[in-house]
Structure 1
Amino acid sequence: MMHGELIPLPARFAELKQQIAASVPGFEHRVTQAWGELLKEMKGRTDEIATRKTDVIPQVRFDDLQTLNAEVLENIRRRGCVVIRNVVDEAESQSWKEDLKTIVAENPVIGMPEDQKQFFMLYWTKPQVLARAHPNVLAASKWMNNLYHVKGGAVVDGVDLSTPLSYADRFRIRLPGSQWHVHPPHVDGGSIERWEDESFRQCFIDILNGRWKEHDPYDLGARINARTTLYGKPNQASVFRAFQGWLALSNTSPGEGTLQVFPDVFLSNAYLILRPFFKPIAEAVTDVFSPAFWKFDISDADFPGIYAQGDLFLGPAPNPFTHPHLQLEKTMISVPTVRPGDMVFWHCDLIHAVETEHKGEGDSSVLYIPAVPHTPSNAAYIAKQKESFLQGIPPPDYPFTGSEAGFKGVGTIQDILPFGRTAMGFDVEVAA
């Protein structure tokens, strides 16, 4: 995830802290009280996660999505992640993987690592096009999008949570025995923008007002206009992905190179957003988990977990040193065993990682397919993405890595099932 030399954040970010503090009456008192409350609650929550391990992650069947009770729904919202079983027929999913293997063998494909390619810079293969347009995949995305809402039930022009859009991403066929060190715990969908962009900051305003228990990660209001990329960072999604996700193409269990998550999006959001405003006290207090160990301080530019690299900013990438209360060594939980056709979704704010080791015997393969709702900015992006598809080049959010036009096995318009045409931006008028 992080390559090249990391440098301290620019001095202007101290001013950003002070600007945020000045915007909230009684900020120091409010967030200090909230910080103390949060730290006390985190110990019990993280202990529960560490004890329950994989069992803490919700698992449901695709056929049951419309009949889940309130308790199950609340648990999914709280955890910020879910495994949905049997979204696509197992045999069909496996056939897609076999086709992808053929495609990467027959074409001059760019992938990583260079000496044994397993993560491929391909977006428009026929299996990817078919999967994104599959009616069950779109139905699962629609269901995930509808976990969001606008406070007060207001209707927002151009927003339709029941019209999923297809955001084109890549795929992996990870081989056993491989070591991956590029995806330690991190959060996608914006870096310093969480604090710097005023609209994005509004997503966390209850936390910054000291009312962290009232924070709602599923309030769509501010998300619609939040800018997740201010610096043109490559591979940074400019759209609002309500949930990131993938479709399993293989049997993959914990320990076999699968996804890991910190399964409490409410708790992690509150902690990550407040952490920059507090520093350890270098005195007699030695218990890092005690509120007495920490003091309010907005005098420097440091945003723990955010790293500068040239003119770009990476993170949030929490670790045990910068964010000790998350207890990441024991709370990054591997998702349960998946079979071909299962889907895994995780909230756009959720801390996640990929297991460093793959100790299994077979490949660990997934198609990355997030849940993306129809919003004005998302629809505008999909219109541009459609043109990328027609040209066979990478989508707008991704660096140019060559054209797929002329590749054997590339998808065509004819491969987009009727259910997927709107999701791909066809037959849709986009407001200017």
Structure 2
Amino acid sequence: MAAELGPCPPRFVELKKEIAAAYPDFATRVTKAWGEILQEVDKATKEIASQGSQIVPEVCFAELGSLSEQRVDEIKRKGCVVIRDVVDDAEAKEWQAWLREYVSKNPDIEGFPETDKQFFQLYWTKSQVRARAHPNVLETTKWLNQMYHVRGEEKVSEVDLTTPLSYADRFRIRHPGVQWDAHPPHIDGGSIERWEDQVFRGCFAEILSGDWRAHDPYDLRNRVNARSSLYKRPNQSTVFRTYQGWLALSETGPNEGTLQVFPHVLLSNAYIVLRPFFTPREGKSAESFDPQDWQFDISNPDFPGIYALGQAFTGPRPNTKTHPHLRLDETMVSVPKVYPGDMVFWHCDVIHAVEKTHVGKEDSTVMYIPAVPYTPANAAYVERQRESFLQGLSPPDFPVTKGEAHCAGVGKADDIEYPVAKRAMGFTIAVA
């Protein structure tokens, strides 16, 4: 049985006070910023809703090295991209066939729904191992990693954005006609940690100081040392992923169980980070875009979209009630139709979801493969992950299962052929 979500604890009032005390003239500055953000969100959400899926950038793998600066800036601003033809169609389809065979030959594997498994707690199938080790996949994630930077002349020691690492995650084979409620709009890579961990909070320092337009979602200074898992919640990544992503092994498009995104990462960050500090004035609607209808308020412990989950926390899970100005029922746009070998990526702060319905005729099959740069913490995780791989066990960030060592068709170290892939999986770990 899934754990019930609870309210934020009373101690979070002190967290709000701590944050307010850390920034000069906090109330005055963020009140001004909140008013500006509401006006900008009003305009941006109308544009997103009017454009739908076509607002998501699409590029080809072959042109990654020659995209114009304007095109790259567009991808960064929207925080999402479809990259075509990363892997040859035939190879991607073969991987899909291997996944089907793996699931068929190993009926005791874990997945849900229990009566009709479609999302699998599997990490080491031959298909997954080979996909992560594919040089085009690693080249793609390397390109995405390099969208990040450190401002000015500063340097972040021992970080190499040109050395991609591999983060083992799961896959899904979603059947048509099945309602899917497991992944409503949410943000991964840290829950209350975004406010509670001082380093993670530093990623949003400009927002919290009122200068929200200066916020840079691609600034590395605090990202690499931010603690995204203070409470050790299973399925909470402890690794810094520049972009989350998946590789399509089948055709899937809008209304066929695909990914949905809110394509404006700066604005959603600004709105979500400041939302806990404001409540509607008495008698005013929480849906009002008029800054005069809102007041600065740190007297309650609520962080909208953050929920207690046992001894840990989950979220942000924005919805139309907690974050009404985002108009998520209109602005969570489905990514364009993809084909075997295409990849979809979204910035680690982007609000994303999975469509509830799949009205297509074929299974929608994707493998989750994010973009991960070389950092000391990431490299240390990959070394632990390597040992999990060699033993056929779940990776360190994920719930303990019976493992896959006994499974027919499990991937082996020999499936990692290329030097760049061996380094990515921790077999010859070193900064390039």
Alpha-carbon separation, structure 1, partners of 2:131 and 2:264: 29
Q: Does 1:98 align with 2:91?
A: no
Alpha-carbon separation, structure 1, partners of 2:96 and 2:305: 36
1:59–1:271 distance in 2 versus 1, CA, 3 Å: same
1:412–1:275 distance in 2 versus 1, CA, 3 Å: same
> What's the % identity of the aligned pairs?
60
Q: Which amino acid aligns with 2:78?
A: R
Bigger Cα displacement from structure 2, 414-423 vs 368-377:
414-423
Q: Aligned residue pairs: how many? A: 429
Q: Which amino acid aligns with 2:188?
A: D
Conserved? CA contact 1:24–1:209, under 8 Å: yes
Shift of 1:429: 5.6
Tell me the secondary structure at the aligned position of residue 424 of structure 2.
Answer: coil
Alpha-carbon separation, structure 2, partners of 1:287 and 1:172: 36
Conserved? CA contact 2:161–2:373, under 8 Å: yes
Shift of 1:284: 5.7
Shift of 1:67: 0.6
Q: 5 Å matches for 1:211-360?
A: 211-283=211-283, 288-360=288-360
Q: Which amino acid aligns with 1:420?
A: A
Shift of 1:209: 0.2
Alpha-carbon separation, structure 1, partners of 2:351 and 2:286: 27
Q: 5 Å matches for 1:33-432?
A: 33-107=32-106, 108-283=108-283, 288-418=288-418, 419-428=420-429
Alpha-carbon separation, structure 2, partners of 1:286 and 1:171: 38
Tell me the secondary structure at the aligned position of residue 92 of structure 1.
Answer: helix
Alpha-carbon separation, structure 2, partners of 1:338 and 1:204: 33
Unaligned runs of 5+ in 2: none
Tell me the secondary structure at the aligned position of residue 152 of structure 1.
Answer: coil
Alpha-carbon separation, structure 2, partners of 1:338 and 1:10: 43
Q: Which amino acid aligns with 2:185?
A: P
Paired position in structure 1 for 2:26: 27
Deviations 1:406-430, CA, capped at 9 Å, x for gaps: 3111111111022300000012269
Alpha-carbon separation, structure 1, partners of 2:39 and 2:369: 37
Shift of 1:3: 3.7
Deviations 1:309-332, CA, capped at 9 Å, x for gaps: 221111000111110110001000
Deviations 1:104-140, CA, capped at 9 Å, x for gaps: 1001211111000001111111110100000000000
Conserved? CA contact 1:34–1:211, under 8 Å: yes
Q: Does 1:4 align with 2:3?
A: yes
Q: Which amino acid aligns with 2:224?
A: I
Q: Which amino acid aligns with 1:417?
A: E
Unaligned runs of 5+ in 1: none
Q: Which amino acid aligns with 2:426?
A: G
Shift of 1:57: 0.4
Tell me the secondary structure at the aligned position of residue 411 of structure 1.
Answer: coil
Per the normalisation by structure 1, the TM-score is 0.98
Alpha-carbon separation, structure 1, partners of 2:105 and 2:348: 35
Shift of 1:367: 0.5
Q: Which amino acid aligns with 1:331?
A: T
Conserved? CA contact 1:305–1:322, under 8 Å: yes
Conserved? CA contact 1:393–1:405, under 8 Å: yes
Shift of 1:285: 6.8
Deviations 1:280-311, CA, capped at 9 Å, x for gaps: 11236786111112100001100000011221
Deviations 1:78-109, CA, capped at 9 Å, x for gaps: 00000000000011001100010000100121
Alpha-carbon separation, structure 1, partners of 2:243 and 2:20: 30
RMSD of aligned residue pairs (Cα, Å): 1.2
Shift of 1:153: 4.2
Conserved? CA contact 2:156–2:220, under 8 Å: no
Deviations 1:54-93, CA, capped at 9 Å, x for gaps: 1110000000001111111111000000000000001100
Q: Which amino acid aligns with 2:227?
A: R
Q: Which amino acid aligns with 1:422?
A: R
